[in-house]
């Protein structure tokens, strides 16, 4: 098949997986072309991770100031605060512009050719690109598919008007008086908590029997308590059935756990029931790719079933996280440059930016047991950590370390608490380097810091806590055996 141009590597999609692959390919001397119809950075940078964290931070600051105005434990007195959410949005958009522009600069510096347009795979080596200037075809020695994912849209709750996707919610100019959130997974909880702090009355509708159903109940209990303190309403075992929009917003019809029906009216209804891989709209039907359920099947080198075609990011399976995509993209680039690489991480961290934050790295106790390990657990309450108390006085939260009893090999770390997201780096490093409990307890953490709690949790697993009373002798003997 004829083409207008040829390149060594063709990357479809400029999200975290695609742009990372393209940058690394260029750095390694491979002639690389990247095709993207939207802004550089993909969903995470332009419509998801980054803008949502900016809004969450603004909401946290506003809630703190509002709290100081009425009941400051720090002795700080301020007037009644207000928020101009249009200015908040402009600040958020400025961060996105800066980072997206930075990605463009990195691609240019790496010598990557960027084409703005919609890519359609014609065959395993050729892509047609719909651009404003025409529809050129480019052939390639190797193709990296990184089309990403899209929000799941319910048939009876189509996005539009007062029914919002997560992207729509981040582009509001005003804080809604009442926000109804369908789905209490991490996206719904993060955004719902932020708007509750900004002054919205938030109502969650969740089909499951608890919020954040993908996380164990111990980790979510402090989040449930904070939602109650913020005045949010949560309907569990509840099912949304239809919506009626009007001039004042929308009314969501919901079947509650007892079988009764209720209409929940809000300025907006935010639908956050998950994301799905974007496997349509770029010519998959013209390829012969093996699938793994809704995902493109790949091996440990991110190779698909077609020679010379690789896939990275959300389209390749769970967890659908930006940092996983970035790591995959780097691996593929180095493979194409002749390096020996595989994508076999010891652990991929997950962080939920609720209040308090949740960090999960590696296996929980139940997961370790199910995998055949004889697991021991150390749990240290953040109420006994000086830095935690000096941050906001919170007495909720803990650090939990899971290890193999016989060897002390660290199998997992779970954390819930205020400002604990950054601790994921310590946990990931420990698992990737096959650290043992002795490695953790032999590490000197700065005092006062939240990091001390990881060491303390490891000491607890060994039955020799320093800043908590010793457990009964029988428990210590069991841990040591």
Give the catalytic positions in this structure. Answer: 447
The neighbour count for residue 389, using CB atoms within 10 Å, is 15
Q: DSSP string spanning 208-272? A: SSSSSTTS-HHHHHHHHHHHHHTT-EEE-S-EEEEEEEETTEEEEEEE-TTS-EEEEEESEEEE-
Nearest to 406 by CA among 365, 447, 437: 437
Nearest to 455 by CA among 441, 467, 466, 469: 441
CB 334 within 8 A of CB 28: yes
Q: DSSP string spanning 146-206? A: ---EEE--BTTB-SBTTEE-HHHHTT-SS--SEEEEE--SHHHHHHHHHHHHHT-EEEEE-
Q: Distances in Å between the alpha carbon of 71 and those of 68, 348, 388? A: 6, 40, 20
CA atoms within 13 A on the CB side of 164: 23
- Residue 400 pairs in a beta bridge with 379, 414
Estimate to the nearest angstrom the gap between the alpha carbon of 402 and the chain centroid: 22
Q: Quick one: DSSP state of residue 359?
A: E
**SS3 of residue 60 by DSSP:** helix
CB 72 within 8 A of CB 159: no
210: exposed, middle or buried (Cβ count in 10 Å: 0-12, 13-18, 19+): middle
Q: Which residues contact 247 (CB under 8 A, 6 or more apart)?
A: none
Q: Distances in Å between the alpha carbon of 89 and those of 51, 80, 187, 287, 332? A: 9, 21, 18, 41, 36
Cα(445)–Cα(440) distance, rounded to whole angstroms? 10
Nearest to 431 by CA among 419, 421, 440: 440
**SS3 of residue 116 by DSSP:** strand
**SS3 of residue 288 by DSSP:** coil
């Amino acid at each position: 098949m004829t083409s207008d141009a040829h390149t060594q590597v063709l990357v479809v999609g400029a999200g975290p997986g695609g742009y990372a692959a393209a940058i690394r390919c260029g750095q390694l001397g491979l002639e690389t072309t990247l095709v993207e119809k939207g802004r550089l950075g993909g969903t995470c940078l332009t419509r998801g991770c980054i803008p949502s964290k900016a809004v969450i931070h603004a909401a946290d600051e506003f809630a703190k100031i509002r709290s100081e105005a009425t009941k400051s434990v720090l002795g700080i007195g301020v007037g009644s605060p207000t928020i101009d959410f249009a200015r908040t949005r402009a600040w958020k958009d400025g961060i996105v512009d800066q980072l997206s522009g930075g990605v463009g600069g990195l691609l240019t510096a790496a010598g990557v050719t960027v084409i703005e347009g919609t890519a359609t795979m014609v065959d395993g080596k050729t892509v047609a690109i719909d651009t404003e200037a025409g529809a050129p075809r480019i052939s390639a020695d190797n193709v990296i598919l990184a089309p990403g994912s899209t929000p799941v849209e319910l048939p009876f709750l189509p996005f539009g008007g007062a029914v919002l996707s997560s992207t729509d919610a981040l582009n509001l100019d005003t804080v809604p008086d009442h926000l109804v959130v369908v789905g209490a997974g991490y996206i719904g909880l993060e955004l719902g908590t932020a708007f509750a702090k900004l002054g919205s009355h938030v109502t969650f509708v969740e089909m499951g029997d608890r919020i954040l159903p993908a996380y164990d109940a111990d980790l979510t209990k402090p989040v449930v308590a904070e939602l109650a303190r913020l005045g949010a309403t949560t309907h569990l075992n509840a099912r949304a059935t239809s919506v009626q929009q009007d001039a004042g917003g929308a009314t969501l019809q919901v079947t509650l756990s007892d079988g009764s029906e209720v209409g929940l009216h809000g300025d907006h209804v935010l639908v956050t029931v998950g994301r799905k891989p974007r496997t349509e709209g770029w010519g998959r039907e013209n390829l012969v790719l093996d699938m793994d359920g809704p995902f493109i099947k790949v091996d440990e080198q991110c190779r698909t079933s077609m020679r010379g075609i690789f896939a990275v990011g959300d389209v390749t399976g769970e967890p659908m996280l930006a940092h996983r995509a970035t790591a995959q993209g780097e691996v593929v680039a180095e493979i194409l440059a002749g390096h020996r690489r595989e994508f076999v991480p010891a652990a991929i961290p997950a962080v939920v930016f609720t209040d308090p934050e949740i960090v999960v790295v590696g296996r929980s106790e139940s997961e370790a047991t199910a995998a055949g390990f004889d697991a021991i657990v150390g749990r240290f309450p953040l109420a006994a950590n000086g830095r935690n108390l000096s941050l906001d006085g919170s007495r909720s939260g803990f650090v939990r370390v899971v290890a193999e009893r016989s060897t002390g090999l660290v199998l997992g770390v779970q954390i819930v608490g205020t400002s604990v997201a950054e601790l994921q780096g310590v946990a990931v490093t420990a698992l990737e380097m096959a650290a043992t409990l002795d490695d953790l307890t032999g590490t000197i953490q700065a005092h006062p810091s939240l990091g001390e709690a990881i060491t303390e949790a490891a000491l607890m697993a060994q039955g020799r806590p320093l800043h908590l009373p010793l457990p009964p002798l029988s428990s210590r003997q069991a841990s040591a055996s």
